[in-house]
Structure 1
């Protein structure tokens, strides 16, 4: 839900409705008053994230507000430290194994630390490493199903759609392992393809204790993306969800747009690195592909000709703009009561 698709407005609305509102920290500065030139990027990100958490807290004084910090970005440590210093209730962290996350958040033990994983093996490795090095376990794991989730996916292209990476296979494995090894102290949260109560109940039946929903909240009034960004989901049809090759070296699930069509045709999209945001980037390092920060930023701002729109497999199910609380009413089966 980066860049700025899930920022303070959406996070606060989700928190007020009873969920955990998450601010995506990647490249927040690009649409801020702090960013003028490339050299401003890192300091501007810190200031922009500080603002976003403060604004979300003002709109949701008692709700759960967290951040998503990608291991793959160069200012990962700064984003984690800024998050905890500004009072984030939780940090969700993926796009790589967050081996040092407890170190960066050590002075804020009340902040929940929740790694994103794509396999039982990754979960075992992280839990063992954290326990040995930091004497703590993850507060939960988010298992992201690469067969359904949007954005960067935690498997290679040739592993996509394999049953061995699906929620139906991995979630029971994780739940059983957590129970046997740690008495169930590491709850499993499932991300990818979650749309309605039926999906949630199916994940609970597999052993999950919670779900993470992203694409479902795009077509809401409170989503921080431009109206044309949201309309692209409403206008989408079967076959419009595609897999691209990201400059980060991972496959990504996105909505078919003029931009993705140009990529598939091998046309020059004319994007140079603007922020050196990633640890490993084919655009910056090899002068190939495109600048993903700029492509995501342009889409969030409403440029549907040059922008990249990440989405999960449920993109085409959107048919109208809703309020966040209406989605919670559908899921919970009861009227919304403001927090």
Structure 2
């Protein structure tokens, strides 16, 4: 199995992806079965976001948790139908209320991989092991779910690896490094983004790439030490600002064995979001992409619109709590992030939080997933 010239297939445990490209998880409703299935069919790794994944369920308003857990199974099943031989999994935010239940349900549904960020997934190995034991059967080893934390610094990588080592005597199956040019929630403080020149409206000109490249190399070395201890191969996947083949090659030069791209897949025919959301990317200018404060408690990157202008004037009253975040008080939050993201997925652009990566303004047209995959891999 060969990928494009110069790029090797991505091997994670017993999984082998023809192309070393993971499609980043985007919620609410941006990367569901359609997008993830298409990416897996095209030879990459397709990721479904569990963030309010059941928002289309008729019972979501009454019992969002139950709707979400059901949707984990139904969305993965639909993605498998599109890519029977493909590699598929979930992105699950640590900040999610009832995080353990989501992880266990993803394992029981048959996820090949689980990627977790928006917090430190300290106990993910425990939840996965419990779910696999509950599944039981002779297929247990064959169906083992590969797991990865999302880290942004040497410090966070070291904390996760040490905790997994000490508490569960294990190491990650792979590690995703998400840099400051990524979309959605960022694993950096506003001060760190400023230091790296990644908080401006012109990140392409101000981002201190050499400084963060050094951090990426440090993370790779940190992970390597735990790979040696556990005598296993732990590939490091880099993310954040990956838009074209040149970006991919640069990450491989740093020592990465794969990349995770999200923004580039939004403007595809197969993306699950409404066409209005995709057109918001195509119509965005570089100065429209800004850093916002999310109710999750960390900075995020989004497209400036009427909704953000409204939020800047004061809190938007929360009419109903969907119990999505572990640390969210409806009486104090500046707005309901679930409602704002559902509006985005449904194309209600003026009432939506439009998460995006720093390169969203470079999206010029609607493409297909195979076309994006070919561009990233230099075919």
Does TM-score exceed 0.5, indicating one fold?
yes
For 1:9, which of 34, 53, 68 is the aligned residue? 34
- Cα distance in 2 for partners of 1:296, 1:18 equals 29
- Cα distance in 1 for partners of 2:234, 2:91 equals 19
TM-score, structure 2 length as denominator?
Answer: 0.83
TM-score, structure 1 length as denominator?
Answer: 0.92
- Cα distance in 2 for partners of 1:289, 1:268 equals 4
- Cα distance in 2 for partners of 1:143, 1:116 equals 6
Q: Which residue of 2 aligns with 1:97?
A: 120
The within-5 A match list for 1:178-257 is 178-183=223-228, 185-257=233-305
TM superposition shift of 1:270: 3.7
Given the alignment of the two structures, is residue 289 of structure 1 paired with residue 314 of structure 2, yes or no?
no
- Cα distance in 2 for partners of 1:218, 1:89 equals 22
* Range with bigger deviation, 93-102 or 154-163: 154-163
Given the alignment of the two structures, is residue 45 of structure 1 paired with residue 68 of structure 2, yes or no?
yes
Q: Does the CA contact (< 8 Å) of 1:259 and 1:269 recur in 2?
A: no
For 2:182, which of 132, 144, 149 is the aligned residue? 149
The within-5 A match list for 1:107-126 is 107=132, 110-126=144-160
- Cα distance in 2 for partners of 1:83, 1:288 equals 29
Q: Which residue of 2 aligns with 1:135?
A: 169
TM superposition shift of 1:159: 1.6
Deviations 1:196-226 (A, max 9, x none): 1100111111111111000110000000000
- Cα distance in 1 for partners of 2:320, 2:332 equals 9
For 2:46, which of 4, 13, 21 is the aligned residue? 21
TM superposition shift of 1:268: 4.8
The within-5 A match list for 1:296-311 is 296-311=341-356
For 1:83, which of 82, 106, 113 is the aligned residue? 106
Q: Which residue of 1 aligns with 2:60?
A: 35
Q: Which residue of 1 aligns with 2:220?
A: 175
Q: Which residue of 1 aligns with 2:318?
A: 271
Q: Does the CA contact (< 8 Å) of 2:27 and 2:51 recur in 1?
A: yes
Moved over 4 A (4+): none
SS in 2 for 1:160: helix
* Range with bigger deviation, 266-275 or 112-121: 266-275
Change (3 A) 1:313 1:105: same
TM superposition shift of 1:182: 2.9
Structure 2: unaligned runs, 5 residues or longer: 1-25, 133-139, 197-207
TM superposition shift of 1:181: 4.7
Given the alignment of the two structures, is residue 262 of structure 1 paired with residue 310 of structure 2, yes or no?
yes
Q: CA RMSD of the aligned region, Å? A: 1.7
Q: Does the CA contact (< 8 Å) of 1:34 and 1:47 recur in 2?
A: no
How many correspondences in the alignment? 328
SS in 1 for 2:220: helix
Deviations 1:41-70 (A, max 9, x none): 111110111110111111110000010011
* Range with bigger deviation, 2-11 or 132-141: 132-141
Change (3 A) 1:207 1:161: farther
SS in 2 for 1:199: helix
- Cα distance in 2 for partners of 1:299, 1:181 equals 40
- Cα distance in 2 for partners of 1:333, 1:194 equals 13
Deviations 1:100-132 (A, max 9, x none): 101111126621101001111111121122122
- Cα distance in 1 for partners of 2:58, 2:212 equals 41
- Cα distance in 1 for partners of 2:294, 2:378 equals 39
